């Protein structure tokens, strides 16, 4: 079973290559290890976002800087996932970058739509916990068909997001998808956000399954960082989509 998350997708191959007996007797990763590191990364991201919210000034160069940070974050995700990095430094670097981006962008949304950030945070973790409960109860199962559907959808959405960021950097316009805080919202924007939220939610089912199976295979404990990083990537993606959809509704 492949995960829809590019970070966790490689853990199947890693599990076969680095089973615990071949890892020099190192302690095996546990679910508690993954949970602890995930919580730590979320706290680091949240604290960084809070500091950026207060400290980073409003300036004309800020939109371009945020777009650059977003592209840097995507590049870091690709490097860490493709190389299967388990060292905490680049993973912590990603959390700091996302905290900076989330803090400044969320402040802009909050100024226009008071209370929207709290709603987005509650919605994001509500979806995450809801999918965890459904997965635990085996109401929703990770199947090859679900994996193909979610992976294809997320790759398509990612292509649109990257193209949008590039257009914004090059032209300064709003790009292929509406990111402006005000203005008319077409049905395409609603559809994009709704599909992204559903795909992001279903991807957690595949992620939980991948982490669970990786724990069973006995990966070394350092891979808890990679698992936690994958979950953080999914949560950040889901938060953005929930925040944007709420802004459309609030208009």
Tell me: the pLDDT tens digits for 42-83? 999 999 999 999 988 776 556 667 777 777 887 888 888 777
DSSP one-letter code for 28 = B
- What pLDDT does residue 6 have? 53
The reported pTM is: 0.81
How far is 77 from 200, CA to CA, in rounded Å? 16
Q: Is 176 helix (H, G, I), strand (E, B) or coil?
A: coil
pLDDT at 111 over 80: yes
Under a CB-based contact definition with an 8 Å cutoff, are residues 237 and 198 in contact? no
Which tokens go with 205?
């089912």
Segment (H or E) for 134? helix 116-136
**Could you give phi then psi for residue 126, rounded to 5 degrees?**
-65, -45
């Amino acid at each position: 079973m492949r995960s829809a998350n590019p970070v966790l997708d490689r853990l199947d191959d890693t599990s076969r290559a680095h089973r615990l007996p071949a890892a020099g007797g190192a302690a095996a990763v546990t679910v508690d290890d993954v949970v602890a590191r995930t919580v730590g990364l979320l706290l680091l991201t949240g604290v960084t976002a809070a500091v950026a919210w207060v400290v980073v000034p409003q300036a004309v160069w800020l939109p371009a800087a945020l777009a650059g940070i977003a592209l840097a974050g995507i590049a870091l995700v690709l490097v860490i996932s493709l190389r299967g990095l388990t060292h905490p430094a680049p993973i912590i670097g990603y959390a700091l970058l996302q905290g900076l981006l989330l803090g400044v962008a969320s402040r802009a949304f909050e100024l226009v739509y008071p209370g929207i950030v709290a709603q987005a945070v509650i919605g994001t973790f509500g979806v995450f916990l809801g999918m965890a409960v459904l997965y635990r109860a085996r109401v929703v199962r990770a199947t090859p068909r679900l994996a193909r559907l979610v992976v294809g959808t997320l790759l398509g959405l990612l292509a649109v997001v990257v193209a949008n960021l590039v257009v914004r950097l090059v032209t300064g316009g709003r790009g292929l998808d509406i990111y402006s805080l005000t203005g008319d919202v077409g049905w395409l924007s609603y559809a994009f956000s709704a599909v992204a939220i559903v795909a992001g939610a279903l991807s957690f089912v595949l992620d939980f399954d991948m982490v669970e199976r990786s724990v069973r295979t006995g990966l070394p404990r350092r891979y808890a960082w990679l698992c936690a990083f994958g979950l953080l990537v999914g949560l950040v993606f889901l938060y953005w989509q929930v925040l944007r959809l709420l802004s459309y509704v609030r208009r």
